[in-house]
């Protein structure tokens, strides 16, 4: 029997494998990954420092342990770079492997800004356990200065983690405030004020160049100013990995296009997690991939099941100013209404028909479970 092959051993790949094994203990199962196949929780990468966790502490199980647990063959440190849909084979390194069904769980890649200058070796990004290990090794002693490019979710989480751990953080964000695409202005102010209280310095401009200077770097910003730092963390965004699917002739938009069965435009190839665009939705969060994994496991075990996404508020790990946000879908028109008391903000976004379609909570509003639950219940599902 040809195996079910899952490409990728991130949260999407391993969650799917676990869910599938609950339903089918026998079918040959392979997982193939270009990393070392350790199981870990990616959200821990941006608060691991203040929790005192090294990369090895965050690795929960080795590929060998996962293979035993899942009754699976796991191939690590190999990149799959071609799919032959007619033969139903993939090229793994120099080997050609047959599949019955193939699942793409290949995640999203870091988008790096085009920067001038010779400081590239001092610019890091953290999107997996191996990146985290490299960044931690370069970070060095407390007190060193880290320039973070990007004040989105990942940039703000790292800013909190580093500043709370004794590092000097310079945060550069061109859109004028932290979390500009997720929060209304007043809620961004609450986050900025919290991070400033930890010593984070904001620079509202773009970075145009990073040059080596002494043992560190000097960054030049779009307003002409310069910022010195020991190293740089680039956190300006992630893009679904679509190249493999595109080269195989599968439909690709912002992510690998799937229907609600997580099926791509090939009936034997599926996609989920950060690489997938499910019915037009690209959601780079854990809860959607969990829902997708449960549905796809059933489909692969013989019971065709569509994925449903309820409203899924996201908790942003900035403990100095806790944040919970139910992001407003791109392109939806409407208005924010905001109640604020210091860093405690409750903001509700209603569309033109007056329906609640997003919210943002900060400070004590974000930690009040009743408020969050009540608002989440009032939201429409993302995919009914």
Binding site for ligand FAD (CB under 6 A): 7-13, 32-35, 42-43, 45-46, 79-80, 105-107, 126-127, 154, 241, 244, 273-274, 284-287, 289, 314, 317
Q: Which is nearer to ligand FAD, 98 or 339 (CB)?
A: 98
- Residue pair 161/154 in contact (Cβ under 8 Å)? The answer is no
Q: How far is the CB of 8 from ligand FAD (least distance, A)?
A: 3
Q: How far is the CB of 42 from ligand FAD (least distance, A)?
A: 3
Q: Which is nearer to ligand FAD, 13 or 322 (CB)?
A: 13
Q: How far is the CB of 127 from ligand FAD (least distance, A)?
A: 5
Chain-centroid distance of CA 241 in Å reads: 12
Q: How far is the CB of 381 from ligand FAD (least distance, A)?
A: 17
CA dist 363 and 62 (Å) reads: 38
Q: Which is nearer to ligand FAD, 274 or 277 (CB)?
A: 274
- The pair of three-digit structure tokens given for residue 69, joined into one six-digit string: 């647990």
Q: Which is nearer to ligand FAD, 273 or 363 (CB)?
A: 273
DSSP string, 317-358: --TTS-EEEEPPPTT--EEEEEEEETTEEEEEEEETTS-EEE
Helices 11-23 & 286-300 angle (0-180, nearest 10)? 30
Q: Which is nearer to ligand FAD, 145 or 239 (CB)?
A: 239
Residue pointed to by tokens 């070796």: 121
Closest Cα partner for 9 from 311, 17, 148, 170?
17
- The pair of three-digit structure tokens given for residue 82, joined into one six-digit string: 């071609």
Q: How far is the CB of 158 from ligand FAD (least distance, A)?
A: 7
């Amino acid at each position: 029997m040809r195996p079910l092959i899952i490409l990728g051993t991130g949260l999407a790949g391993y969650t799917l494998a676990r869910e599938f094994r609950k339903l089918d203990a026998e079918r040959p199962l392979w997982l193939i990954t270009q990393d070392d196949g350790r199981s870990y929780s990616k959200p821990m990468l941006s608060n691991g420092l203040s929790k005192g966790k090294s990369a090895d502490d965050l690795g929960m199980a080795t590929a060998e342990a996962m293979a035993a647990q899942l009754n699976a063959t796991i191939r690590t440190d190999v990149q799959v770079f071609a799919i032959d849909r007619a033969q139903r084979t993939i090229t793994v390194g120099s080997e050609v492997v047959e599949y019955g069904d193939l699942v793409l769980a290949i995640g999203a890649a870091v988008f790096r800004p085009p920067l001038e200058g010779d400081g590239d070796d001092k610019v890091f990004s953290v999107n997996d356990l191996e990146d985290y290990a490299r960044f931690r090794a370069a970070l060095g002693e407390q007190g060193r200065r880290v320039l973070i490019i990007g004040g989105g979710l990942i940039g703000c989480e790292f800013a909190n983690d580093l500043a709370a751990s004794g590092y000097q953080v310079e945060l550069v964000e061109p859109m004028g405030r932290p979390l500009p695409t997720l929060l209304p202005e007043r809620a961004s102010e609450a986050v900025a004020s919290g991070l400033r209280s930890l010593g984070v310095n904001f620079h509202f401009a773009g970075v145009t160049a990073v040059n080596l200077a002494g043992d560190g770097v000097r960054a030049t910003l779009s307003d002409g100013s310069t910022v010195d730092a020991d190293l740089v963390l680039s956190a300006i965004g992630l893009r679904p990995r679509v190249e493999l699917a595109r080269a195989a002739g599968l439909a690709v938009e912002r992510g690998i296009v799937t229907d609600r069965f997580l099926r791509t435009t090939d009936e034997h190839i599926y996609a989920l997690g950060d690489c997938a665009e499910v019915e037009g939705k690209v959601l780079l969060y854990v809860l959607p991939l969990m829902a997708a994994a449960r549905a796809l496991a059933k489909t692969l075990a013989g019971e065709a099941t569509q994925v449903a996404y309820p409203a899924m508020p996201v908790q942003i790990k900035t403990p100095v100013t806790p944040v919970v946000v139910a992001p407003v879908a791109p392109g939806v028109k409407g208005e924010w209404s905001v109640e604020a008391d210091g860093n405690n903000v409750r903001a509700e976004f209603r569309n033109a028909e007056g329906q609640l379609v997003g919210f943002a909570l900060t400070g004590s509003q974000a930690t009040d479970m009743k408020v969050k639950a009540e608002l989440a219940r009032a939201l429409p599902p993302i995919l009914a």
